[in-house]
Amino acid sequence: MIILLIYIALASLVLSLTSIVIVVLLYRDIYRSISSLIDEFGLTLTTRRRYRKVKRYILAKVICSDNIDVKKLGEDIKRHVNSFLGQVVRMECNLTILSLRPDVNRAIFRVVGSSICIKYSLVALSLQHLVAGSCIVIPLRTSGLLSRIKKFINYKR
Amino acid sequence: MKANMFLALNRCNDILFYIKFVDGDLHVVGLDSSILTECLIDEVNKLDRDILFVPRRIVKADEQSLGKCFEFSESVLIGCIPLDTGGARRLAKIHKLSVVVVIPTSIRIVNESQINFMHQSGGRNKYIEIHMQPFLKTFTAPNLNVLIEKSFYLLGNIIERALKLDVGIIVSTASSERSELLSLTHLDIILFYMGFSKRERRLVMEVYPTELLLTWLSYR
């Protein structure tokens, strides 16, 4: 009787192990078939978010050799950065100037788009003066909260 | 300690502008030795900050004229741009302090195998210095023949390999004009863009420059 029970236990063990192996081997196929099924029923739009937008604020130091009109300066920087980013990146990333304070040499930029946009925008802001020969923009701090950025507007002159 | 080991500006006013406004929290600046003597006398003394000025000279040398890289090396920290592979190999093996400068023309010579040679030669007195401004100038020029991606790839490989083998590598701005000044924050952003972590960036921009300075002072 005991031997029979041991046999049954061993058989169930082997069965469970083989089922685990089968699941591991077929995992990718099962996943693919389930995802295609979800796709077939049009559930993708509810289960997955394809467009993930991130909003970040960049505090930057703006250094100009001589006094320039604030409005013109803002437009200049915007134009240079946008030409530096190019049309393809601008489809995904949106970089705008929020505020510009010439008295403390600080400006706040807003980046909206996918997460890689922050990197693109930082590089574009850093290198725009090499192309256009305009004011030098030095990004100091990035944050997702405008209030936190505003605390640093007087951060070292 | 923030250090910009080479600044190619040649006017005292521009240097003051850089130190005062662009990089306000800089500790070490490398300047051409000729301009340094000129500026130190009147202009720089007016600064109310403690800044260490390092006299630098950048020379180009091939295998035959390699002696230029070690002339007056006691009073000036010389950076050497190798013009051929033989020169670069000798710079890697010599038992003296050598700083190999990487600019767009020398990036083919100072590649990963050169770093391997530097690592094998032993002794912590071999340094690689990347001058960023000449690279960025070629990147931002409206010339479609410049392979920006390839240059970035080679540059990234050099930095990564050097960090992996613990060969001293420093990045300096080497800005030559007032309108094209680069700050250390810009360098940091470019390194971040290339995918280096915070620790790696600190190594490249703060730790290795200080180490180079200490090595040079101990060699004198």
| Residue carrying structure tokens 């604030």 | A70
- Would you call A129 an interface residue with chain B, using a CB distance cutoff of 8 Å? yes
For residue range A64-96, what is the model confidence (pLDDT) as tens digits?
A: 877 666 777 778 888 888 888 888 888 888 888
Mean pLDDT of B57-77: 87
**CATH 3.40.190.10 correct for B3-219:** no
Nearest CB among A63, A133, A139 relative to B22 is that of A63
Q: How many CB contacts within 8 angstroms connect chain A with chain B?
A: 44
Mean pLDDT of A37-60: 77
Decide if A110 contacts A56 (C-beta within 8 A).
yes
State the residue range of the domain holding A92: 54-151
> How many folded domains does chain A comprise?
2
**B139 to chain A: which residues are within 8 Å by CB?**
127
Q: A63, B190: Cβ pair inside 8 Å?
A: no
The CATH number linked to A78 is 3.30.70.3250
For residue range B18-34, what is the model confidence (pLDDT) as tens digits?
A: 888 888 888 898 988 88
At residue B46, does pLDDT exceed 50? yes
Mean pLDDT of B164-183: 90
- Would you call B189 an interface residue with chain A, using a CB distance cutoff of 8 Å? yes
Residue A65 and residue A136 share a domain: yes
Task: Provide the pLDDT for residue A156.
Answer: 44
**DSSP secondary structure of B63-88:** STTGGGGGTTTTTSEEEEEESSHHHH
Chain A: nearest CA to B134, how far in angstroms? 11
- Would you call A123 an interface residue with chain B, using a CB distance cutoff of 8 Å? yes
Residue A36 and residue A70 share a domain: no
Residue A141 and residue A114 share a domain: yes
Nearest CB among A119, A129, A138 relative to B185 is that of A138
CB within 8 Å of chain A, chain B residues 79-118: none
Q: How confident is the model at residue B169 (pLDDT cuts 50, 70, 90)?
A: very high
Residues in chain A: 157
Residue A77 and residue A8 share a domain: no
- Distance (Å, whole) CA B32 – CA A131: 26
List the single residue in B with minimal CA-CA distance to A118.
B193
- Side chain identity at B130, as an amino acid letter? I
- Distance (Å, whole) CA A152 – CA A60: 10
At residue A152, does pLDDT exceed 70? yes
Residue A116 and residue A92 share a domain: yes
Residue A12 and residue A37 share a domain: yes
Residue A142 and residue A118 share a domain: yes
- Distance (Å, whole) CA B77 – CA B123: 18
Cβ atoms within 10 Å, residue B192: 17
Task: Provide the pLDDT for residue A43.
Answer: 66
- Distance (Å, whole) CA B129 – CA B106: 11
Decide if B173 contacts B133 (C-beta within 8 A).
yes
Q: How far apart are the first and last CA of chain B?
A: 22
Specify if A157 maps to a domain.
Answer: no
Q: Enter the tokens of residue A129.
A: 């003066």
Domain ranges of chain B: 3-219
For residue range A92-151, what is the model confidence (pLDDT) as tens digits?
A: 888 888 888 878 888 899 999 988 889 999 998 898 888 877 788 899 999 999 888 888
Mean pLDDT of B52-79: 87
Choose the mutation target among B140, B171, B184, B187 for the interface with A, i.e. most A CBs under 10 Å: B140
Task: Provide the pLDDT for residue A46.
Answer: 64
- Distance (Å, whole) CA B109 – CA B102: 9
Specify if A156 maps to a domain.
Answer: no
- Would you call B11 an interface residue with chain A, using a CB distance cutoff of 8 Å? no
Residue A118 and residue A84 share a domain: yes
Chain A: nearest CA to B182, how far in angstroms? 8
Nearest CB among A119, A136, A156 relative to B193 is that of A119
For residue range A5-39, what is the model confidence (pLDDT) as tens digits?
A: 999 999 999 999 999 999 898 888 888 888 888 87
Nearest CB among A130, A138, A140 relative to B180 is that of A130
Q: How confident is the model at residue A47 (pLDDT cuts 50, 70, 90)?
A: low
- Would you call A38 an interface residue with chain B, using a CB distance cutoff of 8 Å? no
Task: Provide the pLDDT for residue A37.
Answer: 84
Specify if A125 maps to a domain.
Answer: yes
Give the end of a domain, one of A11, A27, A47. Answer: A47
Reference B113, options B72, B170, B63, B167; nearest CA is B167
Residue A63 and residue A43 share a domain: no
At residue B121, does pLDDT exceed 60? yes
Residue A30 and residue A67 share a domain: no
Reference B211, options B135, B123, B114; nearest CA is B123
Residue A93 and residue A33 share a domain: no
Cβ atoms within 10 Å, residue A153: 13
Task: Provide the pLDDT for residue A86.
Answer: 84
At residue A157, does pLDDT exceed 60? no
Phi, psi of B182 (to 5 degrees): -115, 140
Task: Provide the pLDDT for residue B199.
Answer: 93
**B22 to chain A: which residues are within 8 Å by CB?**
63, 136, 138
Nearest CB among A65, A133, A156 relative to B24 is that of A156
Average pLDDT of every residue of chain A: 84
Residue A73 and residue A127 share a domain: yes
- Distance (Å, whole) CA B26 – CA B185: 11
Q: B190, A123: Cβ pair inside 8 Å?
A: yes
Average pLDDT of every residue of chain B: 87
Task: Provide the pLDDT for residue A48.
Answer: 62
Mean pLDDT of B172-195: 91
Helix (H, G, I), strand (E, B) or coil at B104: coil
- Would you call A104 an interface residue with chain B, using a CB distance cutoff of 8 Å? no
